[in-house]
Copies of this chain bind each other. A is one copy, B any other.
């Protein structure tokens, strides 16, 4: 078979300058989250296929990279003629499903509440596009075992602090945290007249509001069989309040006393988060925020960069997911940073890896005619620099030394020692 030089479709090779930027941003995010008491954990990048296809992952379950069985098990599956039995594992499409499994498996050895930090790649076989990759890094924080809204408040404060720190130097410190609650979404749809079993579909449509507008949402609701009266009553709820809708007023309009507790909880989250975050950050109630994943049960959040309309982080409360693994419900709440989006924004703003780290290294260029003694002198001089905390490397001297030095300068070398034959 022929070799292929290109990476697998939708995936990326990262050059040294890319890596300097990525490592520096990751270090800042990790350090910020550590200051909020989040402890790093790691799960395997492969999960049991049955864990990944449990209807928790929404549309992402359609995008799984599935891993084939091996050896005798594969042979048996091939004989059975059932395509579903050919695979036993899959690459994780997010860090939340693996976290739920991890916590169910290790709960006894962890503090309660447990604050987890996860950083790592996930895979989705989505159609690749600018800024959308088939392998991409997520940075997740989760609070497990905390039923109070201290979890939501600290998650939002921590994520905003991390984002401000990372994006601030690029002048992108103005962003908006949209906050909503799954129970409000449910109540609003029911109040407008949708049947409970239709709500999931209605939310899929509402989730497209940014892209297709109010008229587009109405059209799609009707196309999916909604009565015009129901669709209009539904959209009227969102029209009356607009973007800055007060959470309490909206909930009052939707379901009076029925949502009072939900509204008071969300109101406290909104006010506390606003008090704890930078002034350039807006924390707003957004009754149209949906979040696709099926596992959310309470408050949900999403961060957009002002002026870009692009989502860079999202999360929410998912109190019933861990119970699917352990048989015992554990309340949980998380926030995930879309690391690749952050990197793309920084790159577009002109932040590059070479700006982020000057290596200030010395290159020793050894002429081909230099003898063993001279070569050894170069090797030992480089070693002495390293022992003194400096960076150094010993290279063969190229015929076109001017070009060689230019390329090394580009790579971050700033001093050059030439070693010739005596």
Interface residues of A (CB under 8 A from B): 1-8, 11-16, 18-20, 22-23, 34-48, 50-51, 53-54, 65-68, 70, 74, 78, 83, 86-87, 89, 91, 101-102, 104-106, 109-113, 115, 121, 123, 125, 135, 146-148, 150, 153-154, 157, 161, 268, 272, 275-276, 324-326, 359, 361, 363, 366, 368, 372, 375-376, 379-380, 382-383, 386, 389-396, 398, 404, 407-408, 410-413
Contacts and interface: CB of A to CB of B under 8 A. Distances in A.
Given A8-B46, A275-B380, A276-B379, 5 more contacts: A36-B392, A37-B361, A46-B123, A66-B67, A157-B383
Given A5-B105, A391-B35, A41 B16 contact: yes
Nearest to A150: B394
Contact of A37 (B5, B148, B363): B363
A47 B20 CA distance: 23
A404 B53 CA distance: 35
A422 to B, nearest CB: 18
A381 to B, nearest CB: 11
Give 9 nearest A-B pairs by CB, closest first: A37-B393, A11-B44, A16-B39, A1-B50, A111-B407, A14-B42, A19-B40, A5-B105, A35-B386
Nearest to A97: B3
A411 B7 contact: no
Contacts of A106: 13, 15
Centre residue among A40, A157, A359, A380 by max chain B CB count within 10 A: A40
Contacts of A8: 44, 46-48, 89
B68 A68 contact: yes
Contacts of A53: 1
A23 B6 CA distance: 31
Given A13-B106, A66-B67, A19 B44 contact: no
A276 B128 CA distance: 48
Which label, helix, strand, loop or mixed, suits the secondary structure of the A interface? mixed
Given A40-B23, A375-B150, A111 B408 contact: yes
Contacts of A148: 366, 368, 396
21 contacts: A3-B51, A3-B325, A4-B101, A5-B325, A7-B105, A15-B41, A19-B40, A20-B40, A35-B390, A35-B391, A39-B411, A65-B67, A68-B87, A78-B83, A111-B404, A112-B398, A148-B396, A150-B379, A153-B379, A154-B393, A161-B386
B376 A272 contact: yes
B39 A19 contact: yes
A395 B150 contact: yes
Nearest to A47: B8
B111 A35 contact: no
Given A3-B101, A50-B4, A379-B154, A13 B44 contact: yes
Contacts of A390: 35
A396 B146 contact: yes
A413 B150 CA distance: 18
Contacts of A11: 44, 46
Given A68-B66, A101-B4, A36 B275 contact: no
Centre residue among A37, A44, A146 by max chain B CB count within 10 A: A37
A135 to B, nearest CB: 5
Contacts of A102: 13
Contact of A105 (B13, B23, B396): B13
A77 to B, nearest CB: 10
A8 B91 CA distance: 11
Contacts of A2: 50
A91 B45 CA distance: 11
Contacts of A104: 3, 5
